[in-house]
Amino acid sequence: MKKSITRVNIGCFACALVLVLLLITQFVPFWQDGEMSASISSYVWFPEDNKAVTTYLKNYLGSDFTVGNMVAGPVVLLVGSAVSLFMCLFMQKQWIAPIITAVTGLAGTIGYLATPALQLGSLWGLHLGLCILLLGLAAVTIWWKANTK
């Protein structure tokens, strides 16, 4: 049986590429100030090992800042990216794949815009841009899927 590459396949693979980039950027240095640097994931999962980041964020955001104020966005984005990547690679024919991917892109966009601690990161623009790109690619993939017979 011959399989052909469709626009939906291309859309899912494009989303998968952006998801891989999003996952990688979660683990590269995000906050950098002098000799201090930490990735989002290392700070969210191991805040005690990154006290310099907490000090840096408290200097800019006030003494009432805690890691709990910003943990939801990165965790949702990390889990959503992993689930979406799996679905884009292995469940392309299902409607749920581009929908979950769009939700992940929207959650990431809202998370980066709504969390002041994330806006202090040196790679904030890249992360936000990848989330917006993911949302747009997923929307196009959904549109292609709806218009494919």
**Cα distance between residue 25 and residue 64, in whole Å:** 27
Three-class DSSP category at 115: coil
At 4 the pLDDT is 57
Identify whether the C-beta of residue 141 lies closer than 8 Å to the C-beta of residue 15: yes
Q: Per this entry, what is the length of the chain?
A: 149
Q: pTM for the full model?
A: 0.90
**Cα distance between residue 10 and residue 7, in whole Å:** 5
At 81 the pLDDT is 96
| Neighbour count for residue 44 (Cβ, 10 Å) | 19
Identify whether the C-beta of residue 144 lies closer than 8 Å to the C-beta of residue 8: yes
At 111 the pLDDT is 92
At 92 the pLDDT is 86
Task: Please identify every stretch of the chain with a pLDDT value under 50, giving residue numbers as ranges.
Answer: 1
Structure tokens at 22: 């999003």
At 1 the pLDDT is 45
